[in-house]
């Protein structure tokens, strides 16, 4: 086959009317691509297909990378490369591209790749460390490493990845201190009073309380809770299937129909106190189909509740309810987030069954992540179920 030459053209009617014409074609880069054309008739669809084939054949073959290739060209190729990477989430791709465009290209865009020596990159990262958080500088270093590794693979005169030779960025582990069972009880009571006090009932406050209960009973991420749909609920077995999440993208908040990693794809048996919340919400929306959200917006059950509303309400609680502080026994109320309850549930499981059980519940890829960021201390394993641990710790008393 020659570049731009179509193979057998296939036609099929479209549900909305008209026809689709499709065929394989060799594009300018030498690769085979399937193209589709559309029109009200087969002739119009065929003409649209041939026009697209002609455009594809005119596309110039990308220049090969070398040490003299502008970093701007490397960035363009690398961004297109990561956009095709199925292993990266949409949110991760957006963050990487944002860092490349707003930081790295502004600093080095006009220079050749060979200009990114170890001293240059080291000075750049040290300069950033004086202005930005260690987490953000670490992200920038990660993007540099990935982009230059891509260049190493596609060139013959860039033998090593200089970004890898820079000093690793130290990130101080976050406080992994969880709440105790008594502190959880106090937070529940005071949050309920604050949300329903005489000064006014806040809109959709039940969602805030219900999300906390679900997190305590499952240790889900807040984004995994708001992504729960009817199809994820196994009523007979009293368990949920966690295989999706809500992620931020350049197009706004979207439902990602897969977990970030295989470890995050899991089934969780839910203790009674959290199941009561899930079952109630399931009954409210199950008639609307499998795609209905348990935590939905006011505009309809097919739209998820935005996390910004949850975060805003909890932030107001932290700042407007100082009476709770003495009851928290030294816990910094300003550090109280939805992730705090996730850590709390994981710690209860780790203390009863060990760090590996907490790792599986959290959906972590390794127990090191669990012990570093979520469970500061844990005791020996006891023969009891995770569901029983969470029910006995956070379930109703008396």
Cα 295 to Cα 193, 243, 278, distances in angstroms: 22, 16, 10
Cα 301 to Cα 91, 178, 291, 304, 306, distances in angstroms: 24, 33, 8, 7, 12
Mean pLDDT over the full length of the chain:
81
Cα 292 to Cα 5, 166, 277, distances in angstroms: 46, 48, 16
Q: What pLDDT shows up at residue 54?
A: 81
Q: What pLDDT shows up at residue 202?
A: 53
Tell the burial category of 75 from Cβ atoms under 10 Å away from its Cβ (0-12, 13-18, 19+). buried
Interval 146-186: pLDDT, tens: 999 999 998 878 899 999 999 999 877 655 578 888 888 88
Cα–Cα distance measured from residue 54 to residue 20, given in angstroms and rounded to the nearest whole number: 17
Cα–Cα distance measured from residue 275 to residue 282, given in angstroms and rounded to the nearest whole number: 10
Interval 308-344: pLDDT, tens: 888 888 888 877 766 555 556 666 677 788 888 988 8
Centroid of chain to Cα 7 = 41
Q: Which residues of the chain have pLDDT under 70?
A: 1-4, 27-31, 57-63, 173-176, 197-205, 247-264, 321-332, 365-385, 397-398
| Residues 6 or more apart in contact with residue 43 via CB below 8 angstroms | none
Q: What pLDDT shows up at residue 322?
A: 61
Q: What pLDDT shows up at residue 277?
A: 94
Give percent of the chain with pLDDT exceeding 70. 79
Q: What pLDDT shows up at residue 142?
A: 96
Sign of the Cα pseudo-torsion (93, 301, 261, 84, in order)? negative
Q: What pLDDT shows up at residue 198?
A: 45
Q: What pLDDT shows up at residue 154?
A: 87
């Amino acid at each position: 086959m020659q570049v731009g030459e179509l193979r057998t053209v296939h036609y099929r009617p479209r549900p909305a009317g008209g026809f689709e014409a499709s065929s394989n074609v060799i594009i300018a880069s030498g690769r085979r691509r399937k193209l589709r054309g559309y029109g009200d008739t087969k002739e119009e669809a065929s003409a649209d297909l041939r026009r697209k084939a002609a455009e594809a054949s005119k596309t110039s073959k990308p220049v090969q990378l070398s040490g003299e290739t502008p970093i701007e060209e490397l960035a363009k190729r690398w961004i297109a490369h990561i956009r095709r990477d199925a292993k990266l989430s949409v949110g991760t791709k957006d963050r990487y591209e944002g860092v490349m465009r707003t930081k790295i290209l502004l600093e080095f865009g006009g220079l050749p790749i060979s200009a990114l020596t170890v001293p240059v990159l080291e000075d750049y990262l040290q300069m950033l460390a004086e202005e930005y958080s260690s987490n953000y500088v670490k992200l920038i270093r990660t993007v540099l490493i990935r982009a230059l590794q891509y260049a190493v693979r596609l060139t013959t005169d860039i033998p090593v990845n200089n970004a890898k030779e820079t000093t690793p960025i130290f990130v101080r582990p976050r406080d992994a201190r969880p709440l105790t069972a008594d502190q959880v009880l106090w937070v529940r009571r005071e949050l309920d009073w604050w949300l329903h006090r005489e000064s006014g009932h806040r809109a959709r406050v039940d969602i805030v309380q219900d999300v906390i209960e679900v997190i305590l009973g499952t240790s889900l991420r807040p984004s995994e809770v708001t992504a729960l749909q009817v199809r994820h609920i196994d009523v007979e077995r009293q368990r949920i299937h966690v295989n999706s999440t809500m992620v931020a993208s350049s197009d706004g908040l979207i439902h990602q129909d897969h977990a970030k990693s295989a470890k995050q794809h899991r089934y969780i048996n839910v203790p009674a106190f959290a199941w009561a919340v899930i079952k109630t919400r399931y009954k409210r929306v199950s008639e609307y189909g499998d795609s209905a959200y348990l935590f939905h917006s006011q505009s309809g059950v097919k739209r998820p509740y935005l996390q910004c509303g949850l975060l805003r309400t909890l932030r107001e609680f932290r700042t407007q309810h100082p009476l709770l502080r003495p009851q928290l026994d030294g816990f910094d109320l300003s550090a109280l987030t939805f992730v705090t309850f996730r850590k709390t549930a994981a710690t209860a499981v780790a203390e009863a069954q060990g760090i590996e059980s907490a790792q599986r519940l959290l959906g972590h890829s390794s127990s090191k992540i669990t012990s570093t960021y979520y469970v500061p201390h844990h005791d020996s394993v006891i023969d009891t179920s995770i569901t029983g641990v969470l029910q006995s710790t956070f379930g109703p008393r008396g």
